[in-house]
Structure 1
Amino acid sequence: MRRSLASACLFTCALAAGVASAAPVEVGVRPQYLISRIANPELKARLEACLDKPQERKQFSIAHRGAPLQFPEHTAESYMAAYRMGAGIQECDVAFTKDKQLVCRHAQNDLHTTTNILATDLAKNCTKPFQPAEGDKPASAECRTSDITLAEFKTLTGKMDAANTKATTADAYMKGTANWRTDLYAAGGGTLMTHVEYIALVRKQGLKFTPELKSPAVAMPYEGWTQEQYAQAMIDEYKAAGVPPQDVFPQSFNLADILYWIKAEPEFGKQAVFLDERDETDTNFDYMNAATFKPSMAELKAMGVNYIAPSMPLLVTVQGGKIAPSTYAREAKAAGLKIITWSLERSGPLHKGGGYYYKSINSIVTNDGVIYELLDVLTQQVGIEGIFSDWPATVTFYANCMNLK
């Protein structure tokens, strides 16, 4: 279904108008379900004692693209669900359209898996049109935000991020949602958000912001627009909205973006978050060997970096059959870096090791109770400042029980 720009805006505005800053926080039944599977008796007893505790909003609970465990990511509906779950910070991954307007998408080239673009006339604009599966060759497509204008982007609707690579039709390709997620809240299509609309909604919610400047899929400069101009454009939309710098935690995997903000926008740069994926990009990197950290934690701190955000597995290891802080975690804390991590509730059931987000502790991951056991080590032993989650209620409950901010 396609929406006009005006009707989509009206819907988003209506959602924002309905937000009340004092709305009750609702964490639902998932925390209790996870607690029932915890192996650590002391942690289990402490969390069980909090099951009837009133819930408050917590900055420690960071909504990762809203609440995409069950809602289409980066949509108004997903942000509203995260708000109800008590998230204190909302994330918008920032990409740009053909006419250089900023929108919320996890990647510049994910429209084919996160929206209904392949079912619309805009499919013809895609960088790589849909190709059906044939033999051993999987189905594929690539549709970028830079393939379409902002007005065209706003005619699309969001869906659960997924693709059926065995599909022989575009319709079947779009129906690849994992069986541990759901299309229950996606069937009607999610309302896509511009970065400006996200700012307005989150401000109405009374929450803080963590926008992530996504690496472009197109070569930069893009039609004369440099990477620095792109980074500045994101900050400028907060300044235009009158958002205080202390309410914004700009993020990037590109260290050059962080250093640009530190220099060009020092008030925003103070809270700039360096998303660290050196375990994926540097073949010499070993999270248990500080000599392989290039730059070192101390060097990052000397550059003006205050926040570092690695994936969860970089922060923990297994010692004596238990989860323990890694060398990476100890080095970051010793250098005075504040640590944020990602992403809880993104792995589905954990009865077979947990996959990527538990890769450093796969050997002891056997059930969903490990979610709270890992979160407890990250909080109490590593000392994280906050954590991204695809289901913020899980973190909100823990933060309330442990009296975190």
Structure 2
Amino acid sequence: MHRIQIAVGTVLIITLLFPISFVSATKNDNKDQFEHPASMKHSARRYINKPSIQLGPRPLLLVDDMDDSALKKKLQQCANETFYKTDFSIGHRGAALQFPEHSKESYEAAAQTGAGIIECDVTFTKDKVLVCRHSQCDLHTTTNILTTTLANKCSSPPDFSSDRPFANVQCCTSDITLAEFKTLKAKMNTGNPNANTVKEYLNAMPHPRTDLYSANATVLSHAESIELFKRLNVKMTPELKAPSVEMPFHGFTQQAYAQKMIDEYKAAGVKPKNVYPQSFNLDDVLYWITNEPEFGKQAIFLENMDSVADLPEAIARLSTLPDKGIKIVAPPLWGLVTLNESNQIIPSKYAETAKALGLDIITWTLERSRLLKNGGGWYYQTITEAINNDGDTMTLLDVLAKEVGVLGVFSDWPATVTYYANCMKIR
């Protein structure tokens, strides 16, 4: 990779400010192009005849970093194509690798880099208005609240009488009203619990992310995100987040919370086929299936697995889901793959079981790991021994698409998945 570092450094800076497109007059036909099985057609993945998507240099950097293979050669041959958005590419919290998650700017970047579906994690404020945040109690790390007078309203504000004033800091959307929430600015998700000052607490950017686009990042209500997604012409996948407060919250029940999320799509005139509601809470998914069947039929049950030890229980649970009306499951990346005796990445028992039961699969989250030279960390825990460079991102993606047959992939940088999907003619 040393041979391109200087040029890429310059291109990356220019591209992040003024994104570029890879353009060609024609697309390459390839007899080996991947066709999806019939069971996946309902996902409605397709290219949209809109201006070309702006992918920037990262996808080709990953391809260049791959070990030599037929896949690498195939991906290199797509460099000069025109790219279009695809539902296979799902913006995880927008484009959170470079932009503050769940901000207007992050969502716009996700659409610009080809995400056909974008996620708003849904929680609620003190006045029970739905907003986009990954957690009800993450404002101290994902916004500038600690630099404002609203810090005094936090559930657990900094304790400057302590040797570690930020050790237990916690600021929740449920601590403030929507009007107060809208005065905040989104920022990259960082926080140093060992800091002594607010500045030190906020100055904790994890590698390889950046604060470059945090200066004026805009927080959004859930309803505002819907209107933005409509303008961006993308589908929507809201995740109903587990409340951090005791429910009912001032009379606001879990069922009312689940219903309100769907009601906001109905009020905005969004067709159910364009919405993929998600939850880690099985009862939420079952509520939608029973009470909002048009939305519930493509509701996603998120698998909550922390380690390989959780796989047997998750596999056993799969057989109970179809009878409950669940059609789509979403485990983490590592739950879908394992290694064979030759150290090659292959589908896991979980993936094989889900497919045998007729369940469709979406997975999370590509491009959320640090550099992969040391095995990739949590998201690659079942295939660590086969991971030694960033290009292995594309190798994993290829197995997920062709051998596991996932409907889509959540990514913190949708351009990567968009590039692969376009190259393989995944529609």
TM-score over 0.5 (shorter chain)? yes
CA distance in 2, matches of 1:279, 1:299: 21
Distance 1:364 1:133, change over 3 A: farther
Which residue of structure 1 lines up, in the alignment, with residue 8 of structure 2?
A: none
Residue 71 (str. 1) matches residue 99 (str. 2): yes
- Aligned partner of residue 296 in structure 1, secondary structure: helix
CA contact (8 A) 2:103 2:220 kept: yes
CA contact (8 A) 1:158 1:190 kept: yes
Which residue of structure 2 lines up, in the alignment, with residue 385 of structure 1?
A: 407
CA distance in 1, matches of 2:402, 2:146: 46
CA distance in 1, matches of 2:160, 2:413: 33
Which residue of structure 1 lines up, in the alignment, with residue 67 of structure 2?
A: 39
CA contact (8 A) 2:164 2:194 kept: no
CA distance in 1, matches of 2:198, 2:51: 41
Which residue of structure 2 lines up, in the alignment, with residue 15 of structure 1?
A: none
Which residue of structure 2 lines up, in the alignment, with residue 308 of structure 1?
A: 329
CA distance in 1, matches of 2:133, 2:195: 24
Which residue of structure 2 lines up, in the alignment, with residue 326 of structure 1?
A: 348
CA contact (8 A) 1:133 1:168 kept: no
Displacement after TM superposition at 1:152 (Å)? 0.2
Which residue of structure 1 lines up, in the alignment, with residue 240 of structure 2?
A: 213
CA contact (8 A) 2:49 2:84 kept: no
Equivalent residue in structure 1 for 2:129, among 76, 80, 101: 101
CA contact (8 A) 1:167 1:173 kept: yes
Equivalent residue in structure 1 for 2:77, among 46, 49, 54: 49
Which residue of structure 2 lines up, in the alignment, with residue 116 of structure 1?
A: 144
Aligned residues: 379
Residue 240 (str. 1) matches residue 267 (str. 2): yes
Residue 175 (str. 1) matches residue 203 (str. 2): yes
What whole-Å deviation, never above 9, does each CA across 1:101-124 have from its counterpart, x for those lacking one? Answer: 000000000000000000000000
CA distance in 2, matches of 1:134, 1:379: 51
Where do 1:251-290 residues align within 5 Å? 251-279=278-306, 285=310, 287=311, 289=312
What whole-Å deviation, never above 9, does each CA across 1:160-212 have from its counterpart, x for those lacking one? Answer: 001123311122101111131111111x2310010011000101111100000
Displacement after TM superposition at 1:135 (Å)? 6.9
Q: TM-score, normalised by structure 1?
A: 0.90
Aligned amino acid, residue 377 of structure 1: V
- Aligned partner of residue 103 in structure 1, secondary structure: strand
Aligned amino acid, residue 371 of structure 2: P
What whole-Å deviation, never above 9, does each CA across 1:16-35 have from its counterpart, x for those lacking one? Answer: xxxx9934301110011000
Q: CA-atom RMSD, angstroms?
A: 1.8
Structure 1 alignment gaps of length 5 or more: 1-19
Which residue of structure 2 lines up, in the alignment, with residue 250 of structure 1?
A: 277
Displacement after TM superposition at 1:295 (Å)? 5.3
Aligned amino acid, residue 145 of structure 2: I
CA distance in 1, matches of 2:191, 2:402: 38
Displacement after TM superposition at 1:137 (Å)? 9.2
Distance 1:141 1:21, change over 3 A: farther
Moved more, 377-386 or 123-132: 123-132
Residue 299 (str. 1) matches residue 326 (str. 2): no
CA contact (8 A) 1:59 1:88 kept: yes
CA distance in 2, matches of 1:101, 1:295: 37
Aligned amino acid, residue 266 of structure 1: P
CA contact (8 A) 2:117 2:235 kept: yes
Distance 1:278 1:32, change over 3 A: closer
CA distance in 1, matches of 2:159, 2:319: 48
- Aligned partner of residue 394 in structure 2, secondary structure: helix
- Aligned partner of residue 213 in structure 2, secondary structure: coil
Distance 1:168 1:216, change over 3 A: same
Distance 1:78 1:333, change over 3 A: same
What whole-Å deviation, never above 9, does each CA across 1:252-292 have from its counterpart, x for those lacking one? Answer: 00000000000000000001000001446xx963x2x4xx3
Equivalent residue in structure 2 for 1:345, among 363, 367, 370: 367
Displacement after TM superposition at 1:382 (Å)? 0.5
Structure 2 alignment gaps of length 5 or more: 1-47
CA contact (8 A) 1:254 1:274 kept: yes
CA distance in 1, matches of 2:77, 2:50: 25
Which residue of structure 2 lines up, in the alignment, with residue 7 of structure 1?
A: none
Equivalent residue in structure 2 for 1:25, among 28, 31, 53: 53
CA contact (8 A) 2:100 2:189 kept: yes
Displacement after TM superposition at 1:51 (Å)? 0.7
CA distance in 1, matches of 2:161, 2:424: 49
Moved more, 132-141 or 169-178: 132-141
Aligned amino acid, residue 88 of structure 1: G
Equivalent residue in structure 1 for 2:395, among 373, 385, 388: 373
